[in-house]
């Protein structure tokens, strides 16, 4: 597996970003420099350039970068005064803005390397010779608003990747090439799964094959959570401002909400389902004997994501979560988190993600939050204790929790070694509290108490998870997930009747199958369904019609002759065990 990042790689990549900025400012006079961090698998730098650049320009920049690297320039750090920094970057408005925002007592450091100087905290490699001139490459050009604000200048972002050895770069570029072939947007179109419309950004039009896949995923989740003690509910898509004010979303999340008005009242399209679930909990008197109460919803949510951040079906404005909220006592947090983790791992395994391909992150209180520190202390301790009881290993992500509570995030590693954050569980003392939505139950002491609410989702957004599955499997879904599991192909038109009868018999067994009796030749049909990644092609001719058998062609596998009954048993076993391969 390709190593995504390390302390050493981060230094190399950050230093290479400086080298790129040095090359760009030399080649394009008048360039205004913004920021250039190391990121997973590489780096980027944002510039305001005197003219648009092309992929051909990237080659010239790379050439200049290699000259700089081979110049053996030291990276030297200097600590300067604010006035000195402002004078040094007087012609660089983005750097000047950053300097002016630094706290008065914060150290201001710059790094020099050759003729280039940059405002930077570091760290860097000691000398450019530590950057292998054959181990970096500029990969793409994109647009990015300064500081992510669409009201600020649009900058040119140049992405690159850097590695310790040329072999690592070669492996990474091969992975990128494979990822390009697996791009869910391309496969979504070629496999007839969905389409996106520029006139309606962030919304998905599901086609019959795609909707069949969607329902397979949704119904699988529905069966799993029902068996795990969840009660499915449905809450309104539009809810009033007053509810969002009491929940805290109006103050903390309003910029991400779509607002509408009716009869001089403001409403919001729900960005999440939690307030609605609390409203359901509050109907009738609840006892401690009713807890834990697990309410689940395939909740349709809408979030006003910036158009520049949208990406296929992986980042959209309209989506459905496999959402649920567990109302419990503080003493039940540990057992409920442990129970959820077991469910989540079981579900991920069925989708083809083994336990060793799951990473866990513990996200603590953010700067922008509701509730006092004492309550946050209790919430973070409760979640940490639950992780210990569940035997979870995790890394801590300081300040990345939800505004109402700490959370665990579950990240999947796909077949190319890429990471996708999917599941989450969050401990929330805030929303059910008297100060917020005031959910109550009667305790053993016959007094009213506020429950703790656990927000949890195993897959997260169904749309995003399906996009991940498309790329993970390159569109060749396991038999249990494939919208069309088998196609019956006659070797000649004289066997069309037998092909149709076979397809009808298999469909009666609950299989998703069709017969192709179009006028195309058999070999053309075989190629078509191979390209469409159909798990099984069932070829029928004179011999098969005579003895009731099938010539079974397995996608990316062998061909074998089976009786119809044997094939039904074979594929049903694959479906029942959630087998990953069709072979």
DSSP helix, strand, coil percent of the chain (3-state; round to 5): 40, 25, 35
483 secondary structure, DSSP code: S
First to last CA, the chain: 25
Q: Is 60 annotated as a binding residue?
A: no
Q: Does 455 qualify as catalytic in the annotation?
A: yes
CB distance 410 to 424 below 8 Å: yes
- State how far Cα 223 lies from the chain centre: 23
Q: Is the pLDDT of residue 8 over 80?
A: yes
Q: Do domains 189-473 and 486-577 have the same CATH topology?
A: no
Cα separation, 564 vs 549, whole angstroms: 6
For domain 7-182, give the CATH number.
3.30.980.10
Classify 569 as helix, strand or coil: helix
How do the domains of the chain map onto residue ranges? 7-182, 189-473, 486-577
Closest CA to 476 of 350, 582, 348: 582
Percent of the chain topping pLDDT 70 = 100
Rounded Cα gap, residues 279 and 325, in angstroms: 12
Q: What is the 3-state secondary structure (H, E, C) of 520-552?
A: CCHHHHHHHHHHCCCCEEEEECHHHHHHCEEEE
Separation of alpha carbons 119 and 85, rounded Å: 8
pLDDT in tens, 431-457: 899 988 999 999 999 999 999 999 999
Please confirm, yes or no, whether 51 is among the known catalytic residues: no
Residue 106 pLDDT > 90, yes or no? no
CATH class in words for 486-577: alpha beta
Active site residue 323: yes
Other CB atoms within a 10 A radius of the CB of residue 266 amount to 14
3-state secondary structure of 274: helix
How far is Cα 60 from Cα 54, in angstroms, rounded to an integer?
Answer: 10
CATH 3.30.1440.10 for domain 189-473, yes or no, is no
Query: What mean pLDDT comes out for the span 482-490?
Result: 97
Point out the catalytic residue in the list 294, 436, 455, 553: 455
387-427 tens-digit pLDDT: 888 888 899 999 999 888 899 999 999 988 889 999 999 99
Find the mean pLDDT for residues 268-291.
95
What's the number of CA atoms in the CB half-sphere (13 Å) around residue 272? 20
Give exposure, 121-133, as e/b (b: 16+ Cβ within 10 Å).
Answer: eeebbebbebbbb
- Catalytic residue (one of 57, 286, 317, 321): 321
The CA-based diameter of the chain, rounded to the nearest angstrom, is 92
**Cβ atoms 110, 117 nearer than 8 A:** yes
- 35-66 pLDDT, tens digit each: 999 998 999 999 999 999 999 999 999 999 99
Nearest residue to 97 (alpha-carbon basis) of 112, 83, 86, 108: 86
Q: pLDDT at residue 309 above 90? A: no
C-beta separation of 417 from 365 below 8 A: no
Q: Which residue has the higher pLDDT, 138 or 252?
A: 138
73 is in an annotated binding site: no
Distance between CA atoms of 87 and 89, rounded to whole angstroms? 6
Region 501-520 average pLDDT? 95
The answer to whether 274 is annotated as binding is: yes
- Which token pair is 255? 């910029």
Confidence of residue 167 (pLDDT cuts 50, 70, 90): very high
pLDDT of residue 410: 95
Would you say 351 and 221 are in contact if contact means Cβ atoms under 8 Å apart?
A: no
Dist CA 260 CA 262 (whole Å): 7
> Across residues 270-298, what is the average pLDDT?
96
d(CA 445, CA 453): 20
User: What are the φ/ψ torsions at residue 390 (nearest 5 degrees)?
Assistant: -85, -5
Catalytic residue among 14, 124, 303, 533: 303
Whether residue 276 contacts residue 283, with contact meaning beta carbons closer than 8 Å, is answered with no
Q: Which residues pair with 204 in a beta bridge?
A: 196
The question of whether 556 is a catalytic residue gets the answer: no
The pLDDT value recorded for residue 558 is 83
Whether the CB-CB separation of 318 and 196 falls below 8 Å is answered with no
Contact 552, 569 (CB under 8 A): no
List, for residues 211-251, the tens digit of each pLDDT value: 999 999 999 999 999 999 999 999 999 999 999 998 888 98
The pLDDT score that the predictor gives to residue 367 is 87
Count of C-beta atoms within a 10 Å radius of residue 531: 11
| Residue 118 structure tokens | 């940059």
User: In the beta sheet, which residues pair with residue 552?
Assistant: 538, 560
The pLDDT of residue 104 is: 85
Residue 154, φ and ψ in degrees, nearest 5: -85, 125
Q: Please state the φ and ψ torsions of residue 276, each to the nearest 5 degrees.
A: -65, -35
For residue 184, give both structure tokens. Answer: 């869910």
Average pLDDT, the chain: 93
To which residue do tokens 């910036």 refer? 306
pLDDT at 1 (0 to 100): 59
Cα 356 from Cα 122, distance rounded (Å): 33
What mean pLDDT do residues 519-523 have?
92
Tell me if 204 sits within 8 A of 318, measured CB to CB: yes
């Amino acid at each position: 597996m390709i190593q995504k990042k390390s302390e050493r790689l981060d230094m190399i990549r950050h230093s290479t970003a400086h080298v790129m900025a040095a090359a760009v400012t030399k080649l394009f006079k008048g360039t205004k420099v913004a920021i250039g961090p190391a990121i997973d698998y590489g780096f980027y730098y944002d510039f305001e350039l005197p003219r648009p650049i092309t992929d051909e320009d990237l080659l010239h920049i790379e050439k200049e970068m290699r000259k700089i690297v081979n110049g053996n320039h030291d990276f030297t750090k200097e600590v300067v005064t604010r006035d000195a920094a402002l004078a040094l970057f007087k012609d660089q408005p983005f750097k000047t803005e950053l300097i002016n925002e630094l706290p008065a007592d914060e150290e201001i450091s710059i790094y020099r390397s050759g003729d280039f100087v940059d405002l930077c905290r570091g760290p860097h490699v000691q000398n450019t010779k530590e950057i292998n001139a054959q181990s970096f490459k500029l990969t793409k050009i994109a647009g990015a608003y300064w500081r992510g604000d669409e009201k600020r200048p649009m900058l040119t972002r140049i992405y690159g990747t850097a590695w310790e050895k040329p072999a690592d770069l070669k492996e990474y570029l091969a992975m990128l090439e494979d990822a390009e072939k697996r791009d869910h947007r391309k496969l979504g179109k070629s496999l007839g799964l969905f389409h996106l419309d520029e006139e309606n950004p962030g919304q998905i039009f599901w086609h019959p094959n795609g909707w069949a896949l969607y329902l397979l995923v949704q119904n699988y989740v529905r069966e799993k959570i029902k068996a795990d003690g969840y009660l499915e509910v449905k809450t309104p898509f539009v809810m009033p401002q007053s509810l969002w004010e009491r929940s805290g979303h109006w103050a903390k999340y309003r910029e991400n909400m779509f607002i509408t008005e009716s009869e001089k009242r403001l409403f919001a399209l729900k960005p999440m389902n939690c307030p609605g679930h609390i409203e359901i909990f509050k109907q009738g008197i609840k006892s401690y004997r009713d807890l834990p109460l697990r309410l689940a919803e395939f909740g349709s949510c809408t979030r006003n994501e910036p158009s520049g951040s949208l990406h296929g079906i992986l980042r959209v404005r309209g989506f459905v979560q496999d959402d649920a909220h567990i109302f419990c006592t503080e003493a039940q947090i540990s057992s409920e988190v442990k129970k959820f983790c077991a469910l989540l791992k079981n579900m991920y395994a069925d989708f083809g993600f083994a336990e060793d391909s799951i990473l866990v992150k513990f996200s603590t209180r953010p700067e922008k939050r509701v509730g006092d520190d004492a309550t946050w202390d209790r919430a973070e301790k409760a979640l940490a204790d639950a992780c210990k009881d569940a035997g979870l290993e995790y890394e801590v992500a300081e300040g990345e929790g939800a505004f109402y509570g700490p959370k665990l995030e579950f990240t999947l590693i796909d077949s190319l070694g890429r990471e996708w954050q999917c599941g989450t569980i969050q401990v929330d003392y805030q929303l059910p509290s008297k100060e917020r939505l005031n959910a109550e139950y009667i305790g053993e002491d016959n007094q009213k108490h506020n429950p703790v609410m656990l927000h949890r989702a195993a897959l997260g957004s169904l749309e995003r998870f399906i996009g991940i599955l498309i790329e993970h499997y390159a569109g060749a879904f396991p038999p249990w997930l494939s919208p069309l599991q088998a196609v019956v192909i006659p070797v000649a038109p004289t066997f069309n009747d037998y092909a149709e009868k076979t397809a009808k018999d298999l469909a009666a067994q609950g299989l998703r199958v069709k017969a192709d009796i179009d006028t195309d030749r058999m070999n053309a049909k075989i190629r078509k369904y191979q390209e469409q990644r159909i798990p099984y092609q069932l070829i029928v001719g004179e011999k098969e019609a005579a003895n009731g058998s099938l010539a079974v062609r397995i996608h990316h596998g062998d061909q074998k002759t089976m009786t119809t009954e044997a094939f039904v048993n074979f594929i049903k076993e694959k479906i029942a065990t959630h087998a990953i391969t069709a072979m």
